[in-house]
Amino acid sequence: MQQLSHSLTTYQTIRQRIISLEADIDEETLADTLEGITDLHEAIASVVRAALVDAAMADGLKDHIQDLQERLRRLLERASKRREVARDAMIQVDIKKVAAPDFTVSVRPGSPALMVVDEGSIPAIYWAQREPRLDRLTLIKDLKNGMPVTGAGLSNPEPVLSVRVK
């Protein structure tokens, strides 16, 4: 980034000097001359190349995180199944407690679980109200279609850097 800053300053200084010496120089000639005697284009390309590498690494990390999350889910599921197998074996032969050097396991009565038979008949006090959320997609669509919406508007568009990879 420091190289880009230096290259930008050099580019601007040389550009101003050329314009002061050749006031009637056309933009194409000026651009070609500056590209040939400065390294600004290479510095910008270097920054964009680094951004592409960062984006590729981020994509790779996302995929790896998804793989790890799937592995975590499988491990937790396997641990749960193994606990069920141990519990069922202990219940089947009426063992209440197993003491091992690194842990003790016991079977105890569980807590009753909730069973919803008919949601419609459950009183309103048991229903949680959700907080309203802004439907941003519909709002931006309406604003782009010219519909006035109090409290919202569209910003001025910012220039966007377009990078196409071959």
For residue 90, give its domain range: 2-108
Total domains in the chain come to 1
Kindly give the confidence (pLDDT) of every residue in the chain, 166 residues in length, as a single tens digit, with 9 standing for 90 and above: 788 888 888 888 888 888 888 888 888 888 888 888 888 888 899 889 999 999 999 999 999 999 999 999 999 999 999 999 999 999 999 999 999 999 999 999 888 888 999 999 988 888 888 888 999 999 999 999 999 999 999 999 887 777 777 7
**Pseudo-torsion of CA 64, 69, 73, 79, nearest 10°?**
80
Q: What is the pTM of this model?
A: 0.57
Residue 84 is assigned to a structural domain of this protein: yes
148: in domain:
no
Assign 142 to helix, strand or coil: helix
DSSP letters for 61-100: HHHHHHHHHHHHHHHHHHHHHHHHHHHHHHHHTT--EEE-
